[in-house]
Structure 1
Amino acid sequence: MKQQFTLKQELKQSNKFNTSKAASLKILELNNDELFSYIKSEVNNSPFLGFNYGSQEDSDAFLNYQHDSPSLYNEIMDQLRYSKDKPNIEICEAMISNLDSNGYFKYPKDELLKQLEINEREYKHNLTILRKCEPYGCFTFSLKECLKLQCILSKKKISQAAMILCDYLEDVALDNTDNIINHTKLDIETINDAIKYIRTLNPKPAANYSTEVQYTNPEFIIKVVDDKIEIKLLNDELEVFVSEENSEGMGKLLKEQRAQVNMLMNSIKRRNITLMQIMQCICDIQKEFFLHNGDLKYCTLAMIAETIGVNVSTVSRAMNNKSCEFNSKYYSLSHFLSSGGSSEHSQNHIKNRVKELIQEEDKTKPLSDEQLRLLLEDEGISISRRTVTKYRESLFIFSSTKRKHKL
């Protein structure tokens, strides 16, 4: 019997997880305090790794530092990584950065879409995914919407009646059940149960999470010397060393530990290079701020990413929870990014114009926020009345009614 050999093609699909890239991203996200703590834990578990940071007293002061509350960003991002709904991570990160300390959006929907530079479909898709993340009730625009979302996501039967009562929150606060009965036709027992349930909901779902950067140990110190901006990366004093012991003759476990240490060292180097590139780019764009205490210029994650040649999400990860020290003050790196307004006008510039217009106004006929908006529009600054109000209040300036002087 004659034997024949045939070639058979077979396609197999396999997913390989890039552990090196995952390790680099993890290291990139850590601020200095977190990095020191992470390295300390690795030193305790590896015979090949050690590190020094100044004196022992200084080292312990840094390594024992802990944040008072967990990060809202980290909490939500951890959930998104396991989502099967295919979120756009860059858009989600941008939406998280636009939340206030309570978990509500800082801007109305139209202004939010303009700032995110996304269309309605992208907005709705990613918003739906984010609203499924804990803590429930975030990514809303008002207290009513926040409580309604918590009712929708609840599995309790009474939550359906409670959702109806969210339209009558003032009556709920005043226990005005008669008005609620007249408008909803719900019976008194259901209303009372729904009111009790509403009072168990969280009106400030992000209040227990940290949304601000902790500035105890900044990543950079920025100095101006002879009209030149100098950038110092603080953890360059962190002396991490690897044992020079030859890997020949080692067992499999020791070889794996040695490989992990090398991966960690490479990740730290890439992190520091990326952070220095980002800070250098920020200093170049915001040169007037550092040299002459000028207004911040328009600056976005996309601009930085394009300049240093990396993905926007990489820049976002790198800047998250990081800060710098300049003139004895601490600044979040996100402070140097634009927030609201057009590409030609920074937030600080608009605030200064609002302040100047109010200083120049007729005190007997002070300018309303709408009049301020129109004056800014004449100067080519297009923002909403609500944004004018927000900027005015951030400057601790009263409304036009309270600013009015009588003759």
Structure 2
Amino acid sequence: MKLETHLTQTLKQTQKLSMKQQLSLKALSMNAQELVEMIQEEVNTNPLLEIDEFSADSNTLDYDLAAEMSKASTTLIDELLMQLHTCRHVENPLLCEFIIYSLDNNGYLTLSVEEIAQLCDCTPEVVEDALYQVQSFEPCGVAARSLKECLIIQCAEMDTALKPYLMMCVDQYLDLIADNKLPEIAQRCDTSLDTIKSCVTLIKTCNPTPGAAYAPAAALSIPDIFISIDETDTLNVTVKNYTQQLKINHAYDQSSNEELKIYVKEYTKRIQELIAMLDKRQNTLFTIVSAIVSIQAGWFLHQADLLPMTLNDIAVLCNLHESTVSRAVQGKLLEFNQRYIPLKFFFNAKLESGQSSMAIQQKLKKLIEGENKQKPYSDAELSALMKQEDIQISRRTIAKYRDQLAIPSASKRKIY
């Protein structure tokens, strides 16, 4: 068999996004805080771009205020370093700092003691001492290496006569607590069921993610959209204007220096592209949010249930691609009646019954709230109860919705 190679030419049509289109999509994906940071960076690097402090109105973002709000957000690392630097007796502050910088956003230590010892050229015993120091800081439970250790640190600080049983429950029986097997724990601990129930109540007061409360500054959320109702019960949509405070410094326009003219032309073009990108973002958001508000008007005006609505529904209504709508609603907040609401809140899948998934989840929640807690409904029983209301929903979908609502299974909801 003879193998031969041939060179052939084919014509294939593909669509490639221009750099300007890519930047527009990137801006559309940004939330308000991220957009402010991008604009502020351009102001800092572009000598022709300025922020006009005297043109602010209710629809314009105050860049200075946003920057100050961002600075005011304290991170977990900032909090722990402050405690470290004000602590009088620290044997190895540099090692403590290394441990602090090795924590994740939830406050857990991401490296093992042995790894830290190797990286810092010291013994594991020295690392353990430094770790114990960091674990004594607030928030209680920080720098733990596991959920069990996080809970042990917090329970050890509790002033209760139940402490021996409390520590035993956390140290040995967390898996049984998760499965709600309280009678078995009571038998193993040779104590009463009431004692174990009291211990579980105390454990539930612990914070499993002690670092999560210290959100990074970038996570600070500012609303992009404002919804108001006028005296005629008309819903008005306003999208924040990011360009109104921006202005071009024309001090160099009359220069005869050719090199300076090129310099000015380049930076002027950057400003024009930025403003065009921000305007397009504002217009796209206005179109999408107006469509959302028109569908969900009953919710805004009369506190009615949300209607079934998908990303594709809005895409068709606005003549946009579904991915564009997805980018637009990602991470965006609207302000309505002094509340901040994520845009994603208004999207509900439509089920066979014709009702939205959110409406069905609310019915499921009400059924579970009204059940006999000593004989809670199984997922199969909940599915049967739903069918009595002409809602065809499988046991597996019930389980999925329970997870989304953070509702445990029947065995874990049982109260003894």
What is the DSSP-based 3-state SS (H/G/I as helix, E as strand, rest coil) of the residue aligned with 2:241?
helix
Judged with a 3 Å threshold, the aligned counterparts in structure 2 of structure 1 residues 251 and 388 are, in CA distance, closer, same or farther, namely closer
Q: What 5-or-longer segments of structure 1 have no aligned partner?
A: 1-10, 70-100, 103-169, 171-203
User: In the TM superposition, what whole-angstrom CA distance separates every residue of 1:339-385 from its partner, at most 9, and x where no partner exists?
Assistant: 68558222331133224445676788654332111222341342423
Name the aligned partner's letter for residue 235 of structure 2: I
What is the rounded CA distance, in whole Å, between the counterparts of 2:367 and 2:14 in structure 1?
63
Residue pairs, 1:159-198, within 5 angstroms = none
- Post-superposition Cα deviations, 1:80-119, rounded to whole Å, max 9, x if no partner, equal xxxxxxxxxxxxxxxxxxxxx99xxxxxxxxxxxxxxxxx
Task: Report the Cα distance in structure 2 between the residues aligned to 1:297 and 1:277, rounded to whole angstroms.
Answer: 19
Residue pairs, 1:102-251, within 5 angstroms: 214=219, 216-225=221-230, 226-235=232-241, 238-243=244-249, 245=253, 251=261
Query: How much has 1:310 moved relative to structure 2?
Result: 1.5
What pairs with 1:276-355 in structure 2 (closer than 5 Å)?
A: 276-338=286-348, 341=351, 344-355=354-365
Q: 355, 363, 371: which one pairs with 2:381?
A: 371
Q: Which amino acid aligns with 1:51?
A: I
* Partner SS for 1:390: helix
The one-letter amino acid of 2:248's match is V
| Gapped regions of structure 2 (runs ≥ 5) | 1-10, 76-104, 107-174, 176-208
Corresponding residue number in structure 1 for 2:28 = 28
**So what's the TM-score if we normalise by structure 2?**
0.52
Greater mean deviation of Cα atoms: 264-273 or 347-356: 347-356
Deviation at 1:269, TM superposition (A): 0.5
- The 2-side partners of 1:366 and 1:246 are apart by 80
2:320 & 2:376 partners in 1: Cα distance?
A: 48
Looking at structure 1, the residues matched to 355 and 375 of structure 2 have their Cα atoms a distance apart, in angstroms, of: 28
Instruction: Identify the residue that residue 118 of structure 1 maps to in structure 2.
Output: none
The Cα shift of 1:253 comes to 3.3
Looking at structure 2, the residues matched to 45 and 359 of structure 1 have their Cα atoms a distance apart, in angstroms, of: 57
Question: 1:301 deviation in Å?
Answer: 1.4
Q: Is 1:380–2:384 an aligned residue pair?
A: no
- Matching residue of 2:279: 269
Give the SS at the match of 2:22: helix
Contact 1:50 1:240 in 2 (8 A): yes
Q: Deviations over 1:194-214 (max 9, x none)?
A: xxxxxxxxxx9xx89989x95
Tell me the number of residue pairs that the alignment of Structure 1 and Structure 2 aligns. Answer: 263
Between the aligned partners of 1:327 and 1:370, the Cα distance in structure 2 is 40
CA RMSD of the aligned region, Å? 4.6
Given the superposition, is the C-alpha separation of residues 392 and 241 from structure 1 closer, same or farther in structure 2, using an over 3 Å criterion?
Answer: closer
Q: Is the 8 A contact 2:315 2:322 kept in 1?
A: yes
Q: Could you give the per-residue CA deviations for residues 159-190 of structure 1, whole angstroms, max 9, x where no partner exists?
A: xxxxxxxxxxx9xxxxxxxxxxxxxxxxxxxx
Question: How much has 1:49 moved relative to structure 2?
Answer: 1.7
Structure 1 partner of 2:83: none
- 1:390 maps to 403
Cα displacement string for residues 125-166 of structure 1 (whole angstroms, at most 9, x for unaligned residues):
xxxxxxxxxxxxxxxxxxxxxxxxxxxxxxxxxxxxxxxxxx
Moved more, 226-235 or 249-258: 249-258
Query: Structure 1 residues 346, 252: CA separation in 2 closer, same or farther (over 3 Å shift)?
Result: same
Q: 1:317 to 1:388 in 2, by over 3 A?
A: closer
What does residue 122 of structure 1 align with?
A: none
User: 1:389 corresponds to which letter in structure 2?
Assistant: R
Change (3 A) 1:349 1:381: farther
Code of the aligned partner of 2:228? K
Query: 1:306, CA displacement in angstroms?
Result: 1.5
Letter aligned with residue 233 of structure 1: V
User: What is the alpha-carbon distance in structure 1 between the residues aligned to residue 409 and residue 254 of structure 2?
Assistant: 65
Deviations along 1:262-317, whole A, 9 cap, x unmatched? 11111011000001111111111111111111111112111111111121121122
Q: 1:238 to 1:275 in 2, by over 3 A?
A: same
Identity %: 28
Larger Rg: 2
Q: Distance in 1 between matches of 2:249 and 2:240?
A: 24
Distance 1:386 1:267, change over 3 A: same
Partner of 1:156: none
Q: CA deviation at 1:338?
A: 1.7
Deviation at 1:326, TM superposition (A): 1.4
Contact 1:369–1:389 at 8 Å: present in 2 too?
no
Q: CA deviation at 1:60?
A: 2.0
- AA at the equivalent of 2:66: F
Distance in 1 between the 2:302 and 2:14 partners? 56
Q: Name the TM-score, length of structure 1 as normaliser.
A: 0.53
Contact 2:378 2:410 in 1 (8 A): no
SS of 1:62's equivalent in the other structure is helix
Q: Which amino acid aligns with 1:39?
A: I
1:39-87 Cα distance to aligned partner (Å, 9 max, x none): 12112222332223649x9532202444889xxxxxxxxxxxxxxxxxx
Q: Aligned partner of 1:40: which letter? A: Q
SS at match of 2:348: coil
**1:19 matched to which residue of 2?**
19
Q: Tell whether 2:66 aligns with 1:62.
A: yes
CA contact (8 A) 2:373 2:413 kept: no
**1:184 maps to what in 2?**
none
Mapped to 1, the partners of 2:15 and 2:400 lie a distance apart of 47
Q: For residues 339 and 209 of structure 1, what CA distance do their matches in structure 2 show?
A: 33
